[in-house]
């Protein structure tokens, strides 16, 4: 599903660089990426998503070499195969909760916003307990509600790959646990691959594997049921 080989990425501004010799993630795996702040976790996620392009090495997603694609092709790949949950939640404030969930359909001309998609959005909102506020503007939702809307948005189009950037970092413990439960449950149901950045070590047993990033070096540790890891 995902393969990073001999990649290097460096920011021009501060010279920070990320290196990974080999990282393979199989379809349906749930991967936790851990590491201290500023270690390069988000950079790794952005390289997988094609938001950033490595200066050397290869990034492959579903057999396509993301690192060799044009910006347009990488955006298309994100739209068609990936669902993303962001650290800062990042909803469109002037859209309602329902409209935010359906945004992947609105911005992707290849997908049609049919009744099945709308029904799926309603079902997701119902499952996360937001049906009553589905018509409310995102700016009027609480942090917990916004995060649940973000999770629904990432999953509504049933993507094969879900990338989550510390999705529970801005939530209190109770809301964080609930949001994570929901995310893992929905990913399990859809059979999607999950790559999630987290600081919460207590949650690591719920993942198949843990990848550690420290000072720009991607290394691995095996955890959970599935063997393998960073090679």
Partner 1 sequence: MKSACYLAWKYTKAHKGRTLILIAALGLLLFLPTAVTLVIRSYDARMGARADATPMIIGAKGNRYDLLLQALFFRDGRTDDVPFGLIERLESDLAFAAKAVPLYARYTTQDAPIVGTDLSAYFDFRGLTIGQGKLPEMMGQAVLGQGAARRLGVTVGDTLTSDRVNLYDLSRTMPLQLNIVGVLGATNSADNEAVFIDVKTAWIIAGHGHGHDPEAHQSQAAHSATVTAIEITPENAASFHFHGDEAELPLSAVLVLPETDKDRTLITSRYNASANYQALRPAQVMDELMGLVLRIKKLFDANTALVGIAVVLLIGLVVALSMKLREAERKTLHKLGCGKWLIVQVQVVELAIVLAGALVIVAAGSAAVMVVSPMLLGV
Contact footprint for partner 1 (CB under 8 A): 49, 51, 72, 75-79, 82, 84, 86, 88, 90-95, 99, 103-104, 106-109, 137
Tokens of 1: 């599903």
Closest CB to partner 1 among 192 and 212? 192
Closest CB to partner 1 among 105 and 212? 105
Closest CB to partner 1 among 97 and 230? 97
Provide Rg for the chain, Cα atoms. Answer: 17
Indicate the helix (H) or strand (E) that contains 30: strand 30-34
- Supply the minimum distance, in Å, between the C-beta of residue 146 and partner 1: 12
Closest CB to partner 1 among 134 and 223? 134
Exposed (0-12), middle (13-18) or buried (19+): which is 95, by Cβ within 10 Å? middle
In whole angstroms, give the CA distance from residue 178 to residue 37.
23
- Supply the minimum distance, in Å, between the C-beta of residue 87 and partner 1: 11
In whole angstroms, give the CA distance from residue 128 to residue 123.
9
In whole angstroms, give the CA distance from residue 228 to residue 16.
28
- Supply the minimum distance, in Å, between the C-beta of residue 79 and partner 1: 4
- Supply the minimum distance, in Å, between the C-beta of residue 94 and partner 1: 4
């Amino acid at each position: 599903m995902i393969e990073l080989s001999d990649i290097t990425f460096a920011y021009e501004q501060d010279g920070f660089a990320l290196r990974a010799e080999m990282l393979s993630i199989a379809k349906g795996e749930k991967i936790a990426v851990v590491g201290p702040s500023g270690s390069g976790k988000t950079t790794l996620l952005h390289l997988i998503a094609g938001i950033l392009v490595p200066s050397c090495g290869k990034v492959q997603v579903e057999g396509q070499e993301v690192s060799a694609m044009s910006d347009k092709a990488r955006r298309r790949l994100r739209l068609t195969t990936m669902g993303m949950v962001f650290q800062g939640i990042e909803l469109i404030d002037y859209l309602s909760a329902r409209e935010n969930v359906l945004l992947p359909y609105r911005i992707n001309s290849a997908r049609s916003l049919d009744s099945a998609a709308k029904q799926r959005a309603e079902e997701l909102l119902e499952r996360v307990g937001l049906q009553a506020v589905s018509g409310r503007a995102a700016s009027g939702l609480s942090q917990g509600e916004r995060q649940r809307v973000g999770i629904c948005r990432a999953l509504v189009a049933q993507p094969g790959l879900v990338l989550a950037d510390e999705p529970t970092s801005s939530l209190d413990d109770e809301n964080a646990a609930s949001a994570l439960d929901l995310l893992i449950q929905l990913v399990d149901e859809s059979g999607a691959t999950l790559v999630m950045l987290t600081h919460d070590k207590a949650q690591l047993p719920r993942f198949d594997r843990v990848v550690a990033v420290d000072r720009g070096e991607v290394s691995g540790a095996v955890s959970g049921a599935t063997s393998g890891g960073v090679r």
